[in-house]
Amino acid sequence: MTRNLQGRRILITGASSGIGKALAQQLAPLGAKLTLAARSEDKLTALASSLPGSPLVVPTDITQEDQRRRLLERSSEHFGGLDALVNNAGIASWAHFADSTEEILRRIMEVNFFAPAELLRSAIPFLVNGNQPAVVNVASMCGRRAMPAWSEYSASKYALCGLTEALRGELARFDIDILLIVPGLTSSEFSQHFLRSEGRAQIEYDKGMKPESVAAAIVNALRKNKTETWIGGDTQWMLRVNRWLPRLVDYLLARRVRKLYEAK
């Protein structure tokens, strides 16, 4: 199946920056009718004003049930329905689990899993009447191979991957496609908003993928209806090696952590 994005009514969460912003910038010129959601109204308004097609701006904290409901209702009323939901919003903490807190774990699970799960659940009645309806869940390489110092983030993305796989069968009876996006290290504002940033490894975020490259892969996945899309050389390498040699990956990661903490 090939999905024509012209005129498609698409809701994007986390649209004010990074991958979400880049995705809006690529979908709007294709003629998609966009609803942009994030907490920052100023950033959303500035983005919408720069795009063709007059996107709808709905400032939203997706962790709040009433705001999720309002988002879906406003989007559907404005465009006459909904064809695709892109669950892109997310947060992270880069620190070791033993040094972290229950509050951080619960906050990450709330934003990265519970909120998109409940938004998806609430969106089903709208998507049922959509044109080639789809849900796009943006996960992470950490959702397929958990990484040290990304424990809470990995857990939340694993949960999102698991939900996506389960719903692929469930939503088939509604003819709603559900697509999973698995990007690797991306150079964006995401790292500037970590709840904690105390990991000892040096991560060169500036050498990560550009959000525009990730967005282009998402657009391609939506067009071609690709079930799961791994994005980035680091993702391809890590997940392929982990598939066949998981114990080796465990050993190498553990050795790396031990070295980082030696004589510290």
Catalytic residues: 153
Report yes or no: 39 and 17 within 8 Å, Cβ to Cβ.
Answer: no
For residue 121, give both structure tokens: 């659940």
* Cβ 13 vs Cβ 60: under 8 Å: yes
CB 113 within 8 A of CB 142: no
Q: How far apart are the first and last CA of the chain?
A: 55
Alpha carbons 74 and 62: distance in angstroms, whole number: 14
Q: Quote the CA–CA distance of 214 and 171 in Å, as a whole number.
A: 25
Measured N-to-C along each axis, helices 151-170 and 102-109 cross at an angle, to the nearest 10 degrees, of 30
